[in-house]
Amino acid sequence: MPPLNALRAFEAAGRLGSFTKAAEELNVSHSAISRHVRGLEGRLDVHLFRTHNTGVVLTDQGRAYLSEITPALDRIAHATEALSVPPKGTVTLTTENTVAQKWLIPRLASLKARHPDVDLKLSVSTQLMDIEAHDFDMGLRYLRTKADDDDHLLFQCGVRAYAAPGFAPLSHGALDLSALAKGPLLVDATFGLWPEWFEKAGLTNIPNLNLLHPLGAILSIQSAVAGLGAVLMDKNLCEPELQSGALVELSPVEIEFGGYYLVVNKRAKRRKAVRAICQWLLEGPSK
């Protein structure tokens, strides 16, 4: 068997595509990574990496070896976790304000109850942050379509119509689609779907809609609560208002529109606290 330190150095360098990043992850010097890899190549009598103008890249033999070594080291990490103390430490997560305020923060009490020694540090931004460049452990992102095999779906966005109680026009006890189409309709900057929604709801002659100026998701929800109009919104982002009765669902008609995905920094995925947060999120945390 090759020395474990040499295997760890090779695996980190191959997974991260960089000797420098591997050195940072394993808290050793760049020369130590290089020495371990060269020693492993000499022991195996193969070239695992080749020099490239942007750094190093795996050879075909290196890729084949990495595909076997990574799962093996993951199994060792899992077995060790099962015997070790509970996860602890700080985990950094970047996401947008809407999903943080409306979906994630209301669930953090359940995380603290489950992992009291893990501190989830949120960084909220309107910009899509590169988690590796900015050294975040993970990111929670809205995507119209799944972009990468490493993206983990947290929840699918199901866009429905909501309004304050008593706002929606009724006809014989049912929602009057024609009257609703003439009233003020709030437009979220992301979900500009009112024409599609009315068509799916069965309105054959859609008039010129009274669409208000586009707003962000949070302002759209707050405006609907204030009775300023009906809003199309992902049902996951309206949970607090629906549970409190500040908003009511106008119709079960739903449009699927992308989803929220979890992306994990490759340099952080083996940390026990990071894995614990990932598991908590992917299991669908309750409030």
- For 134-144, write each residue's pLDDT tens digit: 789 999 988 88
The more confidently predicted of residues 224 and 81 is 224
From the CB of residue 255, how many other CB atoms can be counted at a distance below 10 Å?
Answer: 16
* Vertex 116: Cα angle to 129 and 156 (nearest 5): 45
pLDDT at residue 121, as a whole number: 94
> Would the pLDDT of 6 be above 90?
yes
Backbone torsions φ then ψ of 219, nearest 5 degrees = -65, -35
Please report, as a single letter, which amino acid is at residue 265: N
Give CA–CA dist 87/75, Å, rounded: 17
pLDDT at residue 74, as a whole number: 85
pLDDT at residue 242, as a whole number: 93
> Would the pLDDT of 42 be above 70?
yes
The chain-wide mean pLDDT, for the chain, equals 88
Strand spans (E) along the chain: 49-52, 55-58, 89-95, 118-124, 138-143, 152-163, 170-171, 174-175, 184-186, 210-211, 230-234, 248-249, 255-264
Give the model's confidence band at 13: pLDDT under 50 very low, under 70 low, under 90 confident, else very high: very high
pLDDT at residue 14, as a whole number: 93
Task: Find the helix packing angle between 30-44 and 19-26, rounded to 10°.
Answer: 110
Q: What is the mean pLDDT of residues 72-89?
A: 81
> Would the pLDDT of 62 be above 80?
yes
And the tokens for 77? Answer: 């990490």
In this predicted model, what pLDDT tens digit does every residue of 172-181 receive, in sequence order? Answer: 778 899 989 9
> Would the pLDDT of 94 be above 70?
yes
pLDDT at residue 204, as a whole number: 84
pLDDT at residue 254, as a whole number: 93
pTM of the entire predicted model: 0.70
Give CA–CA dist 49/34, Å, rounded: 11
pLDDT at residue 162, as a whole number: 95
> Would the pLDDT of 189 be above 80?
no
In this predicted model, what pLDDT tens digit does every residue of 194-249 receive, in sequence order? Answer: 999 999 999 888 888 888 888 888 999 999 999 999 999 998 999 889 999 999 99
Please report, as a single letter, which amino acid is at residue 177: L
pLDDT at residue 149, as a whole number: 67
pLDDT at residue 125, as a whole number: 82
Give the model's confidence band at 277: pLDDT under 50 very low, under 70 low, under 90 confident, else very high: very high
Q: What is the mean pLDDT of residues 120-149?
A: 81
What radius of gyration, in Å, describes the C-alpha atoms of the chain? 25
pLDDT at residue 44, as a whole number: 94
Q: What is the mean pLDDT of residues 86-94?
A: 90
Which domains does the chain carry? 4-83 (1.10.10.10), 89-153+259-282 (3.40.190.10), 157-257 (3.40.190.10)
Residue in the structure block whose two tokens are 């549970």? 243
pLDDT at residue 88, as a whole number: 85
Give CA–CA dist 248/269, Å, rounded: 40
Q: What percent of the chain has pLDDT over 70?
A: 97
Give the model's confidence band at 250: pLDDT under 50 very low, under 70 low, under 90 confident, else very high: very high
pLDDT at residue 147, as a whole number: 64
